Chain A
Amino acid sequence: MSALPPISNSGLLRWAWRQLTSMKTALILLFLLALASIPGSLLPQRGIDPIKVRAYITENPTWGPILDRLGFFDGYSSPWFSAVYLLLFVSLIGCVLPRVGVHYRAMRSAPPRAPRMLQRMAGTRSLEVTGSTDEVLLTAQASLRAARWRVVTGPQEDPSWVAAEKGYLRETGNLIFHLSLLVVLVSIAVGGLFGWKGNVIVREGSGFSNTLTQYDAWGGGRFVNAENLAPFSFTLDKFTADFERGTVQRGAPRAFEAEVSFRPDPSAAVQHALIEVNEPLVIDGAKVFLVGHGYAPRIKVTDKTGAVVFDDAVPFLPQDGNFTSTGVVKIPDSTPALGIQGLFLPTAALDAVRGPHSIFPSPDDPALFMSAWKGDLGLDSGTPQSVYRLVTDKMEQIGLEQLKPGESWTLPDGSGTVRFEGYERWASFQIAADPGKEFALFAAAAAILGLMMSLFIRRRRVWVKVLERDGVTVVQLAGIMRTSTFEDDDIGVLAEDLDLVEHALAAAGLVRAEAPPEEES
């Protein structure tokens, strides 16, 4: 049990600080961190899929709102998660920073003099030698120096021993590892404050320029000037997708390629590039990733007077792996205002259970299923509307129809004609800039290096001592491990170190015989 905290305030603070920076607290905080990471992997997260979060709350009217209030749907930015990792990092700083100073002094200090009773140490050995004390110690010193030990010799008045130490880099590595973790955390924060990320759907043949208004969704850190993004632009020239046609994993994607022409700024020359999954395009510090694709059926609507009221390709959103896609067309300019809900099927099939659906993602046999509506589209009410949903509250259904490319449908109430001209492909891009990621990578690499140093290097001390015993010169060799975890095979490492010195002495012809261990006085 730990001692009760002292009464005074400063004493209490010191006590609290010592508790926080103790190894046991670090352990408990590590467990808490592991535990706090779990809910976010089980519950839907806003940062990944906000629609799922909304659905979850609707389906669980009792628990949903409570979990929401407690931050379970933003698990990794919730107060409890932040509290755990911030405490852990405070504990880390409190533990590691003082050790930097201690280690710095240790690295500059000499290994301590040989203890009086070397024979008490594990693995100690004694040898009878022939040469002089100087000869023996110089040979031992040379062998240790050659193996990169830090060596000190006894002072003038007692020149009978050599002390050596090795493995300072263990603690260096340990400190590098922990400090690198701090740098990783700071890099993540830098990315969060100075980074930005946006998504945009671009149709084949259409262009995109990097301004806020062009994005379908955009989010940036607090210090990003959204009005002044890098002025690059690109056009999607061609998009190709390949799918598995064999029986195994039929329909699984095999290749996506987006051919684009881009300009780093409006005055620059046009360059061409191929964007693939795993092969983003880097322009001006931002990366353009290919993240999805789909179909945009081209629809032409004429009203009853024969005037064209709509003629455009409309991106439809894929609903399943075979690209059964849904979308809507809103035509407020015709009289009456028209709305079309559509279902685009790249390879159409119709059955009683599933209704119209696609059975393969490639456009082998495309068809467009439509439901036409007339009335008030609700666009003037001021409430923002999704471009992928038709609000049919104040509308009246005109009819249903299915079309192949090139076919037309004369609306049954005579309000016009809908023609399915064909389809285009679209690709969706994620464009992101994260100025912290290079630092994070550098820090992660340093962390791994430091980790390996701290786990594989062993710090140990060796002493060589010469003494006269019954008229014979005897050299004693001994060593200790200087690591916090002493494993039983560390003895083997020490034995190798002592072997090094013994072999050097033997090679110099100084060893006469193994001496019997000295009796303790």
Chain B
Amino acid sequence: MNPESLAQLSNMAIYSSMLTLAMAMVAFAASFANGQRRSALVVAQESTMSAGGTAVLTKQKSKPTEEPGRRAANIGLSLTWLAFILLLAGVVLRGIWAGRAPWGNMYEFSITAALGILGVYLFMNLRVDLRWLGLFIVIPVLLTLGMAVTVLYTEAAQLVPALKSYWLVIHVLAAIICSGAFTLAAATAGLSLIRDRAERKLPPGTSPTGPLSSRIPDAERLRTITNRVLAFAFPLWTFAVVAGAIWAENAWGRYWGWDPKETWAFITWVVYAAYLHARSTAGWRKNKASWIALAGWVVFLINYFGVNFLASSLHSYAGVSS
């Protein structure tokens, strides 16, 4: 097969994946909207009845016996699997086209990071039911892919000599899996804060009724998931940083040089270390820990976007023509 058609195939796979993800997003959103419609229906019934002249004092129980929107969530999950497979094909074809690991510039990092986020989510979902999280995974993935195909797109090219090393595969692969785990943890940490707020407004023993907070697990469960994901990601991120240091020693003659990319990777590491400490510090293990998990993700994003575009760094491999 000639390179041009490989390139076209790769791009087509990625566009199809985005389309599938957009549909998955609609399905996941519908699974939430379904719940909302239900409560709207209840309100409508109540108002009709009161309009009839009799005040209805018995409030209908808002917790349904059968979870509404489950079908929509299942459709969303199936579509997410399909999108994952299409994206995987797109990334692999890109690698074949370039004749190397498809991690040579920002476009390639971004499509692989999107793949990483979906991969970590779907893998986790095999073990714990995370359908309720789908919407909050699909949205950042779509944004990443959208940015990749519009702003960051670059034709495949050979690597600069500094990137020609097997450490590219090891170091970048670890960082990409971490990007997936950090994103997932940020989503669950954010949701735990929302749910925690809703829970605190209510008397103990009752569950929130809001369209969002009634559809997600309770705050403690969300914090547990965040903790599990980050307990997996933190050693991996440590490994990614150490692998980067070994590579830097081999390529540039020093294993640590406070290059902006290294510095922000270090800051990311310190913030997530603070998260793990907060989890075992009295008075910090709930919302404060969740905020730290969110801060870690923001620092990670600064490292990914800010340093690649703004700072003059040895890691400026964006390859985006200005």
* Interfacial residues, chain A to chain B (CB-CB below 8 A): 23-24, 26-27, 30-31, 33-34, 37-38, 40-42, 45, 47-48, 75-76, 188, 197, 244, 246, 248-249, 252-256, 276-280, 287, 289, 291, 430, 432, 434, 437, 440-441, 444-445, 447-448, 451-452, 455-456, 484-485, 487-489
With a cutoff of 8 Å between Cβ atoms, the chain A residues found around residue B62 in the complex are none
Is the CB–CB distance between A455 and B252 below 8 Å?
Answer: no
- A256: which of B161, B247, B255 is its contact (CB, 8 Å)? B161
**How many residues from B make CB contacts under 8 Å with A?**
59
- B242: which of A254, A255, A448 is its contact (CB, 8 Å)? A448
Closest to B259 in A: A48
Can you report 14 residue pairs joining A to B where beta carbons are below 8 Å apart?
A27-B284, A30-B277, A34-B271, A248-B155, A255-B164, A291-B253, A430-B252, A434-B254, A441-B242, A451-B235, A485-B280, A485-B285, A487-B224, A488-B224
What secondary structure prevails in chain B residues at the interface with A? helix
- Known interface pairs A30-B270, A278-B161. Does A289 touch B234 (Cβ–Cβ under 8 Å)? no
Is the CB–CB distance between A455 and B274 below 8 Å?
Answer: no
With a cutoff of 8 Å between Cβ atoms, the chain A residues found around residue B250 in the complex are 278-280
Is the CB–CB distance between A38 and B267 below 8 Å?
Answer: yes
- B157: which of A37, A249, A437, A441 is its contact (CB, 8 Å)? A249
Please, what's the 1-or-0 string for B284-321, where 1 marks a CB less than 8 Å from any CB in chain A? 11000000000000010000000100010000000100
With a cutoff of 8 Å between Cβ atoms, the chain B residues found around residue A456 in the complex are 231
Complex Cα distance, B13 from A224, in Å, reads: 58
Is the CB–CB distance between B238 and A447 below 8 Å?
Answer: yes
Is the CB–CB distance between A248 and B157 below 8 Å?
Answer: yes
Is the CB–CB distance between A37 and B270 below 8 Å?
Answer: yes
- Known interface pairs A254-B160, A451-B234, A487-B228. Does A278 touch B270 (Cβ–Cβ under 8 Å)? no
B156 interfacial by beta-carbon distance below 8 Å: yes
* Interfacial residues, chain B to chain A (CB-CB below 8 A): 154-162, 164-165, 167, 220-221, 224, 227-228, 231-232, 234-235, 238-239, 242, 245-247, 249-260, 263-264, 266-267, 270-271, 273-274, 276-281, 284-285, 299, 307, 311, 319
Known: A27-B274, A34-B299, A254-B161. 13 other contacts (CB 8 A): A30-B270, A42-B311, A188-B256, A248-B157, A249-B319, A277-B161, A278-B164, A278-B251, A432-B253, A432-B254, A485-B227, A487-B227, A489-B224
Is the CB–CB distance between B234 and A252 below 8 Å?
Answer: no
- B277: which of A23, A287, A440, A455 is its contact (CB, 8 Å)? A23
Closest to B166 in A: A278
Closest to B224 in A: A487
- Known interface pairs A444-B242, A455-B234, A485-B227. Does A253 touch B160 (Cβ–Cβ under 8 Å)? yes
- A33: which of B227, B234, B249, B270 is its contact (CB, 8 Å)? B270
With a cutoff of 8 Å between Cβ atoms, the chain B residues found around residue A444 in the complex are 238, 242, 245
Complex Cα distance, B228 from A37, in Å, reads: 27
Is the CB–CB distance between A278 and B274 below 8 Å?
Answer: no
Complex Cα distance, B113 from A289, in Å, reads: 32
- B246: which of A75, A289, A441 is its contact (CB, 8 Å)? A441
Is the CB–CB distance between A448 and B239 below 8 Å?
Answer: yes
Closest to B168 in A: A278
